Amino acid sequence: MIGEKRALEAILTARIFAPSEALAIGLVDHIIDAEIDAEKWLMERTKASPEVVHAAKLTIVGCQEQLDREGRNQEYERRLFAPLWGGRANREALDSRLKHL
């Protein structure tokens, strides 16, 4: 996210970034100030079940690498998400008649 050189420096020196610098270089996506309800902000971004969030993260992180190796993303996504079908999150979504979050 911040480049190999900057990441290596940060790791080796245990450097602490100021919030504004971390935002400017792409290390963080948002800065939550004291006036914003952090719990509300977090709840808006964690509506999906942990299993779904995990599979989505793996998809995003791994798709380009997988595409390079296999030349297709759909099969990779299928392998990540298929185990979730019939799981708790899927059943809850079906029970609540939700098609998508």
Count the alpha carbons within 13 Å of 91 in the hemisphere toward its beta carbon. Answer: 4
- Per the document, the length of the chain is 101
Q: 55: buried, middle or exposed (CB in 10 Å: 19+, 13-18, 0-12)?
A: buried
The pair of three-digit structure tokens given for residue 20, joined into one six-digit string = 């504004």
d(C-alpha 20, C-alpha 66), whole Å: 34
Kindly list the averaged pLDDT for each block of 10 residues, start to end, along the chain of length 101: 86 88 90 79 82 82 64 70 82 70 48
Cα 61 off chain centre by: 8
pLDDT at residue 72, as a whole number: 60
What residue ranges do the domains of the chain occupy? 4-34, 50-95
The overall pTM is greater than 0.75: no
Question: CA 50, 52, 55, 56: dihedral to nearest 10 degrees?
Answer: -110
pLDDT at residue 24, as a whole number: 93
